[in-house]
Structure 1
Amino acid sequence: MASPAASPTSHFSLPGWKPGSSVLARRGLMLVLSSPSGAGKTTLSRRLLAQDDRITMSVSVTTRPPRPGEENGKDYFFVSVEEFQRLRD
């Protein structure tokens, strides 16, 4: 019998973690996905988000203008340089 195909989360290993696990409620968890463009970060993050409604994305702040299709508060928080400096200070 052939083994089942691996999913992007099948190699995710954190002691005590499973969907719905209380480890998230107890201590919190920050997961950083970092890889080259096109390696599957968006696919993996969407699958993780779909598995557990307690997982959320961090939305970054940027001073650059929005690109076509980007939404303020969803893709980035778009602010002026002055507003960014005020937030930073």
Structure 2
Amino acid sequence: MSSDLFPGVPVVISGPSGVGKTTVKEQLLARYQDLGASISATTRPQRQGEVNGQDYYFYSTEQFKADIEKDLFLEWALVHGNYYGTPKGPIEERLEKGIDVLLIIDIQGGIQVKN
């Protein structure tokens, strides 16, 4: 699956909320040490204990919308009044370095990535 453009491989786990995507992610990351995980961006409020850039990238709504206009997301969706998406930059950087990247996304995001 690797190419000259991106030597790493994107691995997509897509499904509806509550189906166990995070459990699969944790198992894969524990088993495959060289696998990198994507970090989603969101406009929802940061929860206690969450670390910006580790759990999510926390954006203002204005920043998120501006990045949508600049086509900086691999996929994005508006869910329950908050935006969620996968920034392209960190994914492309890892793939270019030959790191396989695990993307955990909902059905809507999976369709966007496929297209």
- Given the two structures, how large is their TM-score scaled by the length of structure 1? 0.55
Structure 1 residue aligned with 2:40: 60
Distance 1:46 1:86, change over 3 A: same
Higher strand share: 2
Q: Match of 1:27, as an amino acid?
A: P
Instruction: Count residues in correspondence.
Output: 65
Higher helix share: 2
SS of the equivalent of 1:32 reads: strand
RMSD of aligned alpha carbons: 2.4
Q: Please tell me whether Structure 1 or Structure 2 has the larger radius of gyration of its CA atoms.
A: 1
Equivalent positions of 1:11-22 (< 5 A) are: none
Structure 1 residue aligned with 2:108: none
Identity %: 46
SS of the equivalent of 1:37 reads: coil
Question: Structure 1 residue 43 and structure 2 residue 19: aligned?
Answer: no
For residues 51-85 of structure 1, the C-alpha deviation after alignment (integer angstroms, 9 at most, x for no partner) is: 22221111112222113332211221012233334
Higher relative contact order by CA 8 Å / sep ≥ 6: 1 or 2?
2
- Given the two structures, how large is their TM-score scaled by the length of structure 2? 0.45
- Gapped runs of 5+ residues in structure 2? 71-115
Distance 1:82 1:32, change over 3 A: same
